[in-house]
Structure 1
Amino acid sequence: MSASRPESRLQRLLPAPLNLPPKEWLRAGMGALLGLFLAGWLCSLAYGPSIALHLLGPLAATAVLVFAVHGGPLAQPWPVLGSYAVAGALGLALRHGFGSELWVAATALGVSLLLMCLLRCLHPPGGGVAVSAVLADPGLVALGDHLLEPIMLNVLILVAVAVLYNRLTGVRYPKRAAPRKDLHHTHDPLPSARVGVSTADLDQALEDIGEYVDVTRDELERIILATEQHALQRSLGGITAGAVMSRDIQFAASDTTLDQAWKLLASHHLKTLPVLDGGRLVGIVSLSDLVGPAMARGRFSWRRRKPVLMEQVMSRRVISVSSQHPLEGLLPLLCEQGLHCLPVLDGDQLVGVVTQTDLIAGLKRHLLNAASQPSDQRVPAL
């Protein structure tokens, strides 16, 4: 017991581990090296090595943010560029008016912080730019008001390298809110957003905290949704598509006619039919695919119409899942993407379909099983 207490105290003193895998460390390090080198090299070609080297301090701190913490609000292009422009201009103005005293540099830092918050371009290295502009060495002072030019050249090059390098290495930068799919084009929120955490809840929580949180609201929402998804996966206990799918598959062939498809849908109370060709899934046809051709056939015409075949009206882009696909992964497909039926494939073989009815039945069975368990064994919902 006595040995474990010092160990637990030591663990409390240690910082929390970074949520960055070692592969990401290497990617960020190589990017920062490349970005800082290119910015310094090009700036030295334009203004001389002495000028370039004296401006690399704040730029190196910016490189850490845009390559290693690229998802945070402080690392986005506008905070980076805006902070450098505001802090650099303010530092030059204060040095020109009051000299290069220590109190002037401190004032430049404090006022630039206020301006960055006001303009929504808070970026910590910007404070270093303001102080560097006031306490510039004689070589930088000789540039006068033109000192802002190499400052902005450096940061523009670094941001350009960050955008290109991050995207080439599979990182979305700058961060933008992912567009929400609204297939129904109504004012209702998405089905998954009607119960649980909403954007209004996030705004209220951030306001209640009353402090700056180094994560955007969209990123925070993604974290919460991912947490809920993992909690749901744990609570569903490994239920898969194969456990809830319908195995007696009603399907059409490529040469199935419109009348035959209508009869299949009506007799089995279905909304969707997979289309098979030689046992291989080649498409899917729904009620909405058949309505247009059926209405066209109802119009009077002197010409004899050819029968409408499924290969003419089916959707060839089919979203399918495997029999081992987890049940929680079916929810966004059947609830938000407007799908009524998901073919289940094992390899190229169609082994079943999961409909919205199958999904509801599977969730009902799970709820009944969970209700029958002792209260201390239930998984609490978020």
Structure 2
Amino acid sequence: MIKSILRSFYPAPLNTKPKEWLRASVGACVGVLTASMVCQYFYGIELALHLLGPIGASSVLLFAVSTGALAQPWSIVGSYFVATGSALIAVYLLGHSILSASFAVGLAIGAMCIFRCLHPPGGAVALCIVLSQTDLAQLGFYVFYPVMLNAGILLCCALVFNNLTLVRYPKMHTSSSADINHTNDIPPFERVGFNSDDLDAALSDIGEFVDVTREDLEGIIRSTEKHALRRSMGDIQASHIMSKDVLSGTPETTIKEAIRLLMHHSIKSLPILDSKKHIVGIVSLTDIIKYPASIRNSGALGLFGFKKNISLSDIMHTSVTCVTAAAHIVELIPLLSRQGLHCIPVLQNNEFVGVVTQTDLIAALHRDLMVHLH
């Protein structure tokens, strides 16, 4: 029992690298310095020093754990605003006292929860305002100005610095599964694994504050599933399952020739290569079907029914999703299912060496399943 309690005090390992520690440290230093200097310029050194504590605490969240739910823009702006309002209410009712400060913090936490802007330094903002009987107290309702100025400056620093150092901020709310077929059907990954309702139910079971965004939590779980699947499936790489004798076209190949190749060999996509076997595009049957319809409805040639000798360079997709020959099969599964791709070109030293199709993937998964069953 005692060992278990003592073990709980042992610090958990950090899953970040020293490079990230340095980045966060520099960012926090820049943010605190900038906010403090601007506040000092407009309101003087004494008032700037009174509000320095919450700014320092906020900088830890905005620069060190910027993906957390407590570090998002609405969290800092909303919390500073409601904490200031809570402090003014506490001062009005109870004056400047320890009881008033305690009441202000409790009121601020409740308000932050209601307005979904929980941010720990908000409690410090309330304390600073209540316990300051000189500079901040004299401002009355005008205390909102320096407080919100600090919040705005620090937030601007976080937006600029984090994104310049390749840390996306703020955290974007994105859907985990794209609706590629534009139907109401449940995405394939959610039919056999956990879905959005399951995640909501799990968070409801916890019933406590969790400093992680819902999207990050889903990403962590799916990443864990991927690593577990990769461990169980062994070292199956794209080079092991890809089709090597692959038909391809060039930018100069005509649509007529492309249709002949696709129909004769019963394939859905045609990689487009240049003279050095570098992939420069890809064309599918769908692309070919859509294109003639679009030119028939526009332009003088379309009105009179004339047809151009169209080459694949006119309709091919130049942004092609590719994988390396060493890519693990687990990396291919979401590309061929969730993103709706029919085939993925495989590169080795930037040279096209084959494709992995949905059929290749199904055959490999079936073989792996049979091995585990035996």
Structure 2: where are the runs of 5+ without partners? Answer: none
Q: Deviations over 1:104-139 (max 9, x none)?
A: 211111122111111111111111211222211323
Residue 192 of structure 2: SS of its match in structure 1? coil
Aligned residue number for residue 84 of structure 1: 80
Change (3 A) 1:96 1:287: same
Q: 1:149 aligns with which of 123, 145, 148?
A: 145
CA contact (8 A) 1:293 1:308 kept: no
Aligned residue number for residue 240 of structure 2: 243
- What is the identity, as a one-letter code, of the residue corresponding to 1:110? G
| 258-267 or 18-27, larger mean C-alpha shift | 258-267
Aligned residue number for residue 63 of structure 1: 59
Aligned residue number for residue 291 of structure 1: 289
Structure 1: where are the runs of 5+ without partners? Answer: 1-5, 373-382
Residue 70 of structure 1: SS of its match in structure 2? coil
Aligned residue number for residue 375 of structure 1: none
CA contact (8 A) 1:272 1:341 kept: yes
| 230-239 or 88-97, larger mean C-alpha shift | 88-97
TM-score, normalisation: structure 1:
0.88
Cα distance, 1:181 vs structure 2: 2.9
Aligned residue number for residue 31 of structure 1: 27
Cα distance, 1:8 vs structure 2: 9.7
CA contact (8 A) 1:285 1:314 kept: yes
CA distance in 2, matches of 1:97, 1:161: 36
Q: 1:44 aligns with which of 40, 43, 46?
A: 40
The 5-angstrom pairing of residues 311-326 of structure 1 reads: 311-326=313-328
Change (3 A) 1:100 1:184: same
Cα distance, 1:316 vs structure 2: 2.8
Q: Deviations over 1:172-211 (max 9, x none)?
A: 1111222453222222232222221111111101111121
Aligned residue number for residue 347 of structure 2: 345
- What is the identity, as a one-letter code, of the residue corresponding to 2:288? L
Aligned residue number for residue 258 of structure 2: 261
Aligned residue number for residue 357 of structure 2: 355
- What is the identity, as a one-letter code, of the residue corresponding to 1:73? A
Q: How many residues were matched structurally?
A: 367
CA distance in 2, matches of 1:158, 1:308: 55
Aligned residue number for residue 162 of structure 2: 166
- What is the identity, as a one-letter code, of the residue corresponding to 1:210? G
Cα distance, 1:305 vs structure 2: 4.4
CA contact (8 A) 2:296 2:305 kept: no
Q: 2:116 aligns with which of 113, 120, 129?
A: 120
TM-score, normalisation: structure 2:
0.90
Aligned residue number for residue 176 of structure 1: 172
What value does the CA root-mean-square deviation take over the aligned residues? 2.6
CA distance in 2, matches of 1:145, 1:251: 71
CA contact (8 A) 2:80 2:122 kept: yes
| 361-370 or 246-255, larger mean C-alpha shift | 246-255
